[in-house]
């Protein structure tokens, strides 16, 4: 019985692992095939990059990285393309400081974009204040959130169903990435009684208001 089991095991091992095949020769052939494939893929990615389609170039390099994580220069190329994408599609938006939440654009789920702000403004408060402090109100409807600095730029994502997410701090600069396609809004973190005069520029780049491919 033991001899029979050993014989069966030997046959199974030979069948499963190909011990009767010159495996080194197959490995060498596979290496040549993958090498040619990777070379063609790199050439294709470079062509996409030269034509300005940085995202498709990045996707191809990501696919190459999955096939061969040790391919020289691929990780550096992916990082460089990610930085280039984040710095591309630059836009400047004028923030109307007399209003509350202002729509800036459409963000792509799972993709990053950068926000950079500039400008100054003045705040005037209407009515009298008490020792209770500044009135806050619901920040999502146009109030102030005490968790953020007074007067700071804050942001909000609203999903396709119109449901607002969590309010977050932007300040002078931020890198953002929503979980799903969303509408991006910003406002100054001020109480409802505040009257504002000034000019604020909101610069964006990356995956915000991405032009539709034709």
CA neighbor of 109 nearest in space, from 149, 159, 174: 159
Q: Which string of DSSP letters, residue by residue, matches the chain?
A: -HHHHHHHHHHHHHHHHTTTS-HHHHHHHHHHHHHHHHHHHHHHHHHHHHTT-HHHHHHHHHHHHHH-TT-TTHHHHHHHHHHHHHHSS-EEEEE-TTSSSEEEEEEPTT--EEEEEEEEEEEEE-S---TT-S----TTTT---TTS-TT-EEEEEE-TTS-B---EE-TTEEEE--SSSEEEEEEE---TTEEEEEEEEEEEEESBSPPPP-
Please say which residue of 62, 87, 112 terminates a domain: 87
The pLDDT value given to residue 20: 52
Q: Which domain holds residue 71?
A: 22-87
Please say which residue of 69, 87, 105 terminates a domain: 87
On whether residue 2 sits in a domain, the answer given is no
pLDDT(14) > 50: no
Mean pLDDT of 1-17: 39
Mean pLDDT of 27-31: 78
| Residues 65 and 155 grouped into a single domain | no
Residue 121: CATH number of its domain: 2.60.120
On whether residue 17 sits in a domain, the answer given is no
Mean pLDDT of 93-113: 92
| Residues 102 and 146 grouped into a single domain | yes
Mean pLDDT of 164-187: 96
Mean pLDDT of 200-211: 93
| Residues 96 and 53 grouped into a single domain | no
pLDDT, one tens digit per residue, over 112-137 is 999 999 999 998 877 777 787 777 78
| Residues 115 and 191 grouped into a single domain | yes
The pLDDT value given to residue 101: 94
The highest-confidence range among 2-16, 71-85, 128-142, by mean pLDDT, is 71-85
On whether residue 37 sits in a domain, the answer given is yes
CA 90 from centroid of its chain's CA atoms: 15
| Residues 96 and 59 grouped into a single domain | no
| Residues 32 and 116 grouped into a single domain | no
Tokens describing residue 58: 């990045």
Please say which residue of 87, 108, 137 terminates a domain: 87
On whether residue 8 sits in a domain, the answer given is no
| Residues 54 and 138 grouped into a single domain | no
Phi, then psi, of 143 in degrees rounded to 5? -90, -160
The pLDDT value given to residue 8: 33
List Cβ neighbours of 26 (8 Å cut-off, separation of 6 or more): 18
Report the percent of the chain where pLDDT is more than 70. Answer: 88
| Residues 82 and 129 grouped into a single domain | no
The pLDDT value given to residue 192: 81
Only one residue has tokens 């032009």, namely 211
pLDDT(198) > 50: yes
On whether residue 4 sits in a domain, the answer given is no
On whether residue 190 sits in a domain, the answer given is yes
Average pLDDT, the chain: 84
DSSP-derived pairing of the beta strands 113-125 and 173-176: antiparallel
On whether residue 101 sits in a domain, the answer given is yes
C-alpha span between 88 and 71 (Å, rounded): 27
| Residues 201 and 127 grouped into a single domain | yes
| Residues 83 and 95 grouped into a single domain | no
Tokens describing residue 190: 């001020």
On whether residue 119 sits in a domain, the answer given is yes
Q: Count up the domains in the chain and report the number.
A: 2
| Residues 121 and 53 grouped into a single domain | no
């Amino acid at each position: 019985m033991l001899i029979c089991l050993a014989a069966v095991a030997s046959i199974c091992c030979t069948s499963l692992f190909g011990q009767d095949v010159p495996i080194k020769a197959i490995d060498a052939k596979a290496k040549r095939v993958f090498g040619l494939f990777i070379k063609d893929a790199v050439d294709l990615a470079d062509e996409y990059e030269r034509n300005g389609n940085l995202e498709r170039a990045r996707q191809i390099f990501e696919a190459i990285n999955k096939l061969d994580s040790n391919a020289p220069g691929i990780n550096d190329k992916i990082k460089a393309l990610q930085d280039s994408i984040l710095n591309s599609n630059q836009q400047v938006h004028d923030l109307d400081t007399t209003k509350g939440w202002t729509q800036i654009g459409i963000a792509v789920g799972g993709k990053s974009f950068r926000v950079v702000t500039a400008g100054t403004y003045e705040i005037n408060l209407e009515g009298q204040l008490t020792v209770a402090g500044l009135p806050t109100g619901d920040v999502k409807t146009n109030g102030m959130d005490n968790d953020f600095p007074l007067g700071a730029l804050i942001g909000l994502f609203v999903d396709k169903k119109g449901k607002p997410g969590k309010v977050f701090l932007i300040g002078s600069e931020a890198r953002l990435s929503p979980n799903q396609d969303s509408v991006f809004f910003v406002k100054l973190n001020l109480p409802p009684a505040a009257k504002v005069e000034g000019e604020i520029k909101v610069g964006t780049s990356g995956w915000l208001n991405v032009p539709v491919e034709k």
